[in-house]
Amino acid sequence: MKHLKRAYLALMIVFMYAPIIVLMVFSFNRSKSRANWGGFTLGWYSELFKDPKILSALYTTLSVAVLSALIAAVLGTAAAVGIDSMKSRGRRIMMTVTNIPVVNPDIVMGVSLMLLYIFLFNAFSFLRLQLGYATLLLAHVSFNVPYVILSVLPKLRRMDDHLFEAALDLGAPPFKSFYKVILPEIMPGVVTGAMLAFTMSVDDFVVSFFTTGAGVENLSVLIYSMARRGINPKINALSTLMFAFVLILLYLINRSDTSKQRKGERELNEADY
């Protein structure tokens, strides 16, 4: 029985990894065919780094992800502090609004933002605006903010309200009280939210697809247009690099987590004695 279970798990792991591994192996294939091996080459990788479209898409993806995560972190943290202090009714309304981008299908969010942008462009037609980097960034901030709010709120709920009031009573201005008293306590939530936001932004295709234009493409949009045209070993090379990058990142995060945990445990043990 145990062998059967082991075999089943192994089979499922093969199912999960076979397509990825095939993709990676064929990025080193000299022949452009995806079924026959024509010898080893690194040519697709060097072409990848010579392709200005891919490089600019990489830059767009990363800069949009970093900027949208930062803006969402500031906006979302402020919002969470406000929502946390609200009475039940206002709070319920704000939570419903916050949940809309989370539950709403990506594609509906994408087309609704596209309609908004076109509507505004027509209203301010003298400015001659068009879809591009700014609209892409604003869209990413919009779907990122809820994730920051949802990861900061639990931290705020666990905090003692009186600490902030005490700081105010002692004469600190509201922003300084927030900065000195609340922020250090909720920082883990803010960081988690910002990291989540970064990941969502890098991974997003659907919303980007509808909200970008004028030649501004992030990696997802570029990969989509390449993949629709069929086979392209450059995509394989790009996938391999992205997957390797993710694996290294996961490994580093995991390692720092366990070392922190060990340190935490050690401190706990020392505290016992």
Partner 1 sequence: MLKGSAKRAAVAPYVIWSALFVIIPILLVIYYSLTMETDGKLVFSWANYARAFQPTYIDVMLRSGRLALISTAACLLIGYPVAYIMASREFENRSFLLFLFLVPMWMNFLLRTYSWLALLENNGILNTFLSGIGLPKLALLYTNKAVVLGMVYNFLPFMILPIYTVLKKMDHSLIEAAQDLGADSRNVFFRLVLPLSTPGVISGITMVFMPAVTTFIISDLLGGSKSMLIGNLIEQQFMKVSDWNFGSAMSMILMGVVLVLFTVFTMVDKDGEGGALY
Q: Among 65, 114, 137, 197, which residue interacts with partner 1 (rule: CB under 8 A)?
A: 114
Taking each helix axis from N to C terminus, what angle separates 52-84 and 43-50, rounded to the nearest 10 degrees? 70
Residues 126-145 that bind partner 1 (CB under 8 A): 138-139, 141-142, 145
Of 124, 138, 122, residue with least CA distance to 210 = 138
Q: Among 41, 51, 66, 106, which residue interacts with partner 1 (rule: CB under 8 A)?
A: 106
Minimum distance of partner 1 from residue 271's CB (angstroms): 26
x-or-dash pattern for partner 1, window 166-205, by CB under 8 A? --x-----x---x-----------------------xx-x
Quick check: 210 and 221 in contact, CB under 8 A?
Answer: no
Q: Among 31, 104, 259, 261, which residue interacts with partner 1 (rule: CB under 8 A)?
A: 104
The C-alpha atoms of residue 191 and residue 4 are separated, in whole angstroms, by 42
Task: Find all residues with CB under 8 Å of 110, minimum gap 6, and list them.
Answer: 139, 206, 207, 208, 209, 210, 211
103/268 with CB nearer partner 1: 103
Q: Specify the 3-state DSSP secondary structure of 40.
A: strand
Q: Does 62 bind partner 1 (CB under 8 A)?
A: no
The C-alpha atoms of residue 88 and residue 83 are separated, in whole angstroms, by 9
- Geometric angle at alpha carbon 8, from 2 and 14, rounded to 5°: 135
Q: Does 70 bind partner 1 (CB under 8 A)?
A: no
Q: Does 14 bind partner 1 (CB under 8 A)?
A: no
Q: Does 111 bind partner 1 (CB under 8 A)?
A: yes
Q: Does 8 bind partner 1 (CB under 8 A)?
A: yes
Residues 244-273 that bind partner 1 (CB under 8 A): 246-247, 250
Residues 77-96 that bind partner 1 (CB under 8 A): 78-79, 81-86, 94
Taking each helix axis from N to C terminus, what angle separates 106-123 and 133-157, rounded to the nearest 10 degrees? 120
Q: In which residue are the tokens 């993949």 written?
A: 227
46/258 with CB nearer partner 1: 258
Residues 37-56 that bind partner 1 (CB under 8 A): none
